[in-house]
Amino acid sequence: MMRPSLRKSEQMRPVSMETGVNKWAEGSCLIKMGGTQVLCTASVDLNQPLWKRLQNKTGGWVTAEYSMLPRANSARKGRDTLMKDHRSAEISRLIGRAFRSVVDMEKLGRHTITIDCDVIQGDGGTRCASITGGYVALVLAIRWLIEHGRIKENPIQDYVAAVSAGLWNGELILDLDYEEDCVAELDSNFVVAGEGKFIEIQATGEQHPFDKEQLNELMEMASEGCKKLIDLQKQVLD
């Protein structure tokens, strides 16, 4: 069955990343994946987080906060609701884990970097776009620390990107938009490092269980999709 966007099963939506979109943040990136748009900013705090200081821990920390603006979707969501959104908290933790998996905290020194991912417009795959664009903002913030003599070595050990995949109308497809995501039989998100190794996999059988063969095929699709995203990250950061 033809996808609503007329894409092939393994075809991703058009992707673009623009850096330097926020004059105040040490690193920033506006990522667009089809109709999804996320503003990612990386803010540097020249101190460790309080919990590390209280525990006399060494090294820095990378964390993230994700949110959707009130009119990011078809219906407005009030700001009070956004502040109590458990989904946003879960996604924030996912993004933070993804970045920490490729950052050497000792080399980061006694600094904290917070990646804010604000969804301007949602059309599926917002957490994946946040990770992919947020990584670019993170790299730029690390460069700022090096340029200002705060750290000597680059603490980033690998690239990180993410993409969704799922089962829609009996067909395995890559990079679901909202129209596909809301009726998908299987919905999954893959966070992948630069060497093709998986950092995190989230997969849910929305309508019925799925088997290992389907998951393996989705992993292959996601791995290829993230390779393309990482190639774009490299171009943007060059």
Domains in the chain, ordered, with CATH?
15-237 (3.30.230.70)
Residue 73 is predicted with a pLDDT of 79
Sequence length of the chain is: 238
Q: For residue 124, with 0-12 CB atoms within 10 Å meaning exposed, 13-18 middle and 19 or more buried, which class applies?
A: buried
Q: Of the candidates 144, 125, 110, which has an alpha carbon nearest to the alpha carbon of residue 41?
A: 144
CA distance 225 to 231: 10
Tell whether the torsion through CA atoms of 210, 96, 198 and 173 is positive or negative. positive
Residue 125 is predicted with a pLDDT of 96
DSSP characters for 122-161? -SS-HHHHHHHHHHHHHHHHHHHHHHTTS-SS--B-S-EE
User: SS3 of 77, please?
Assistant: coil
Contact criterion met (CB below 8 Å) for 115 and 44: no
Structure tokens at 28: 């920033």
Name the stretches of the chain with pLDDT < 50.
none
Residue 86 is predicted with a pLDDT of 86
Radius of gyration of the chain (CA): 18
CA distance 33 to 227: 15
Q: Of the candidates 39, 42, 43, 96, which has an alpha carbon nearest to the alpha carbon of residue 72?
A: 39
CA distance 16 to 37: 10
| Strand ranges in 148-209 using DSSP code E only, listed in sequence order | 160-168, 171-174, 186-193, 198-205
Contact criterion met (CB below 8 Å) for 143 and 90: no
The 10 Å Cβ neighbour count of residue 198 is: 13
